[in-house]
């Protein structure tokens, strides 16, 4: 046998062959922790699969499905009517799959003496109607509001769930992700923000009860926590190939166990 052929065969056998690269874009809530952990476990079971994960906000995930630049779009909100129309215009069928449930936890600095606020007070704070902690029973100090940026599904969901769809206070500071909000609130004694359940154990922060209800797996499932919501994978119609297998893995007992360990509420 030709020695060159034998050598080439040996090199190819030793080189990892990626049968499929799965591109997943969108939500930071899903994409900063949960989906990377799911991907690592999936790769351990399917060594021929590579992942490209970009967690830059739900809007980017939905746009990626419309534009065909990702097989899966992560989103912590439902697609808007304008997005559905844009998809339809391009012949894209936006299919949502609920992959886990989440609660948007309102967080303050660990040294803040408050432990509970009402839904009305939360609305007043985040819209800028109230600007000093003393107005809601806290110690005097100008409230510093930290929110997600406008491409975030959590940014939109919080407006719907907590602010009666009103605009955020002009003084609010927009952050790229959950971890950035938690870090800023942890550094600022007058800070307040919100994060998904998977991020509410960050150092320097504490979770505020809303009308006596704290976000937990139990309160989210029982719909007792007011700022609970589903999270989604979006695909162009029924997923196929490796994307379909990854969606199936996410919804499997093993995938949902990972979701629970990360801090999400499983779909079952």
What secondary structure does DSSP assign to 205-224, as a single string?
EEEPEETTBPP-HHHHHTT-
What's the pLDDT tens digit per position in 130-186? 999 999 999 999 999 999 999 999 999 999 999 999 999 999 999 999 999 999 999
Task: Output the pLDDT for position 20.
Answer: 86
pLDDT in tens, 182-225: 999 999 999 999 999 999 999 999 999 999 999 999 999 998 99
18, pLDDT greater than 90: no
222 and 112 in a common domain: yes
**H/E element holding 147?**
strand 144-148
Whether residues 37 and 142 share a domain: the answer is no
CB pairs under 8 A, 24+ apart, for 177-185?
Answer: 177/28, 177/32, 177/55, 177/148, 178/28, 178/29, 178/32, 178/148, 178/154, 179/32, 181/107, 181/146, 181/147, 181/148, 182/107, 184/144, 184/146, 185/107, 185/108, 185/109, 185/146
Does one domain contain both 112 and 78? no
pLDDT > 60? residue 2: no
Q: Which two tokens stand for residue 252?
A: 């499997």
pLDDT value for 81: 97
In terms of Cα–Cα distance, which of 162, 82, 77, 170 is closest to 122?
162
In a domain, 10, yes or no: no
- Band (pLDDT 50/70/90 cuts) for residue 15 is very low
**pLDDT reported for residue 7:** 42
Quick one: 150 and 97 in the same domain?
no
Clarify whether residues 182 and 71 are in a common domain: no
Terminal C-alpha separation, the chain: 58
For residue 147, give every residue at least 6 positions away whose Cβ sits within 8 Å of its Cβ, in sequence order, or none.
126, 155, 158, 168, 172, 173, 174, 175, 181, 193, 194
Q: What pLDDT, on a 0 to 100 scale, did the predictor assign at position 268?
A: 78
- Is a pLDDT exceeding 90 seen at residue 32? yes
Residue 146's CATH number: 3.40.190.10
Specify the number of domains making up the chain: 2
Based on the domain organization, do 116 and 48 belong to the same domain? Answer: no
C-alpha 28/C-alpha 75 separation (Å) is 8
pLDDT at 10 over 50: no
Q: Is residue 160 domain-resident?
A: yes
- Whether 8 is covered by a domain: the verdict is no
Inform me whether the pLDDT recorded for 4 exceeds 50: no
Q: Are residues 115 and 221 in the same domain?
A: yes
Q: What is the mean pLDDT of the chain?
A: 93
Domain identity same for 130 and 211: yes
Range of the domain at 37: 17-101+230-262
Asked whether residue 9 is domain-assigned, the answer is no
User: Distance (Å, rounded) from C-alpha 233 to C-alpha 225?
Assistant: 23
The whole-model pTM stands at 0.88
Task: Categorize the per-residue pLDDT at 266 as very low, low, confident or very high, splitting at 50, 70 and 90.
Answer: very high
CA distances from 260 to 20, 133, 180, 239 (A): 27, 34, 22, 24
Q: Tell whether the model's pLDDT for residue 8 goes beyond 90.
A: no
In this prediction, residue 19 has a pLDDT band, given cuts at 50, 70 and 90, of: low
């Amino acid at each position: 046998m030709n020695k060159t052929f034998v050598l080439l065969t040996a090199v190819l056998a030793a080189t990892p062959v990626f049968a499929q690269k799965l591109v997943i874009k969108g939500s930071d809530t899903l994409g900063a922790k949960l989906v990377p952990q799911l991907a690592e476990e999936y790769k351990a079971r399917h060594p021929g699969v590579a992942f490209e994960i970009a967690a830059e906000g739900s809007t980017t995930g939905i746009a990626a499905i419309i534009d065909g630049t990702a097989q899966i779009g992560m989103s912590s909100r439902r697609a808007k009517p304008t997005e559905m129309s844009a998809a339809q215009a391009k012949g894209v069928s936006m299919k949502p799959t609920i992959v886990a449930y989440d609660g948007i936890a309102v967080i303050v600095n660990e040294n803040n003496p408050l432990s509970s606020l009402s839904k009305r007070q939360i609305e007043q704070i985040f819209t800028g109607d109230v600007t000093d902690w003393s107005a809601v029973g806290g110690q005097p100090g100008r409230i510093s509001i930290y929110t997600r940026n406008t491409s975030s599904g959590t940014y939109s969901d919080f407006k719907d769930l907590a602010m009666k769809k009103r605009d955020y206070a002009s003084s609010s500071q927009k952050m790229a992700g959950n971890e950035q909000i938690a870090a800023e609130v942890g550094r600022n004694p007058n800070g307040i923000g919100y994060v998904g359940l998977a991020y509410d154990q960050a150092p320097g922060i504490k979770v505020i009860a809303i009308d006596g209800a704290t976000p937990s797996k139990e309160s989210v499932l029982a719909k007792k926590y007011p700022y609970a919501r589903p999270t989604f994978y979006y695909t162009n119609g029924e997923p196929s190939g490796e994307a379909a297998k990854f969606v199936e893995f996410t919804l499997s007992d093993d995938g949902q166990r990972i979701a629970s360990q990360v801090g999400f509420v499983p779909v079952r």
